[in-house]
Amino acid sequence: MSEIALDFGIQEALEKLGVQEFNKGTSTGSDNFGSGDTISSYSPVDAALIGKVTGTSETDYEKVISTAVEAFKTWRKVPAPQRGEIVRQFGEKLRALKEPLGKLVSYEMGKSYQEGLGEVQEMIDICDFAVGLSRQLHGLTMHSERPLHRMYEQYHPLGIVGIISAFNFPVAVWSWNTALAWVCGDVCVWKPSEKAPICGIACQNIIADVLRENKLPEGISCLINGDYRVGEFMTKDKRVPLVSATGSIRMGKIVAQAVAARLGKSLLELGGNNAIIVTPEADIKMTIIGAVFGAVGTAGQRCTSTRRLIIHEDIYDKMKDALVAAYGQLKIGNPLDEENHVGPLIDKDAVKLYLKALDKAEEEGGKILVPGGVLDGPGYESGCYVKPAIVEADNSFEIVQEETFAPILYLLKYRGEVTNAIATQNDVVQGLSSAIMTNNLRDAEQFLSAAGSDCGIANVNIGTSGAEIGGAFGGEKETGGGRESGSDAWKIYMRRQTNTINYSTELPLAQGIKFDL
């Protein structure tokens, strides 16, 4: 265990989460096994080895799916409010383990400890939401055109829900899916990111305890580990009617094609190229806070991170100077130290992409306002710490059109009406999150109108990052069109059925068709 891990209580956190032995692998609940490749998890905080996980072979996968199939036969018959009670107990265990799980998230992924705690709080919040939902899984009744008939529709569980999550939210996105899927009567098979496998083991340990205490089948919650090849087991498997995948656009297109080829359902949460529009009437102080957190929070590795700032020419220089000054106050370092604002990127491959993006921006004519670069020396031994950068650019630049998972903020200038800024914002292939900073009611309403932002999320006077679980989360265009978390996102995890009941002594046909024998 490294010095940083010892100083900040990582060993104790791992022990509380039951992952101190590092010999866990494929899991269907309480039992752990695996015969695939070994996955080593190194912390981007200090490059220390956290542990090794045994990956899932195809034989292992078949055992997991068989266990899940059998568990579904039991779980779907449990009344929804009782399923909600299991999720409530899971949420209570998360409350008790919030601090150690938050530390593990911070240490294995590299986000700040406060963000790690926030991610676990999201898990708790979605459990609360799901518990309430368990008593509100409603259908509709409608009038039949035929006498002495009634019609209604209801929702039934799908079966196995496959979940593929990304490294940047190593626990929360799984819970968004699984808490809802569980109360809907589904069982879940989760492939966490191979860059954060220990977080997956920790979560599986927690829910396995709940299932064991309630004498429920362990296959209600299953875990598989590995790279994209393990994910392919699920995407091609007809026994998995729904695959929920979070990641890059490139990955999402592969998943969507594989699942569609077998006429399965996919829920996709893919890339974002999120912008904040800043009008002349914007509150500068609020804008700076929202823009800086959006751009550097999680070291720019959120799908909702602010990539572009579209500023009206009348306040462009004022905003630019304020941003440069704010960046000068950022503290970069160990994310477990709450004095620091910015932690590391996930690994050295991410660092290479960051440096490549900055070089590309300059080649295309961008002007570097706040220089980037890789930090070295004491405290930066992992080689994953980089400087948040600001670049004056144009929306037409190829690199601006791309999503770079790193703390690079592009400043863009607009002139004239807010519709010009909206057109610039929408002129990318991604459509996840967007925001406008303004005290002009007309501009705000224009931004929210059908002719406004084309993103799944559109905010006024808050940033692009930090969604609440009460609203459906997701985006349009190449972001994939999926919706997770709140509102009526639960419907994707269920199959819809229309029922007609005839309580007459006749058999009239619809549309007045006559068929007499």
Q: Which residues are catalytic?
A: 269, 303
Answer yes or no: are the C-beta atoms of 295 and 272 closer than 8 Å. no
Phi, psi of 130, deg, nearest 5: -65, -35
3-state secondary structure 302-342: CCCCEEEEEEECCCHHHHHHHHHHHHCCCCECCCCCCCCCE
- CB 261, CB 422: distance < 8 Å: no
In the chain, DSSP finds a helix count (H) and a strand count (E) of 16, 23
Q: Name the nearest CA neighbour of 281 among 55, 58, 444, 76.
A: 444
Which among 173, 169, 227 is positioned nearest to 40, based on CA atoms? Answer: 227
β partners of residue 495: 156
Task: Map 205-239 to HEC letters.
Answer: HHHHHHHHHCCCCHHHEEECCCCHHHHHHHHCCCC
Q: For residue 425, which amino acid is it?
A: Q
Separation of alpha carbons 229 and 212, rounded Å: 30
61: nearest Cα among 284, 315, 235, 195: 235
Q: Nearest CA to 300 among 346, 250, 234, 254? A: 346
Using DSSP, state whether 370 is helix, strand or coil.
strand
Helix axes 418-426, 441-448, angle to 10 degrees: 30
Residues facing residue 49 across a β-bridge: 42
Are the C-beta atoms of 340 and 372 separated by less than 8 Å? no
Measure Cα distances from 50 to 1, 22, 47 in Å.
Answer: 8, 8, 9
Residue 82: enclosing H or E segment and its boundaries? helix 80-96
Beta bridge partners of 470: none
CA distances from 437 to 424, 430, 452, 473 (A): 15, 20, 14, 21
In the numeric block, which tokens belong to residue 187? 């069982």
Nearest to 161 by CA among 496, 507, 508, 495: 495
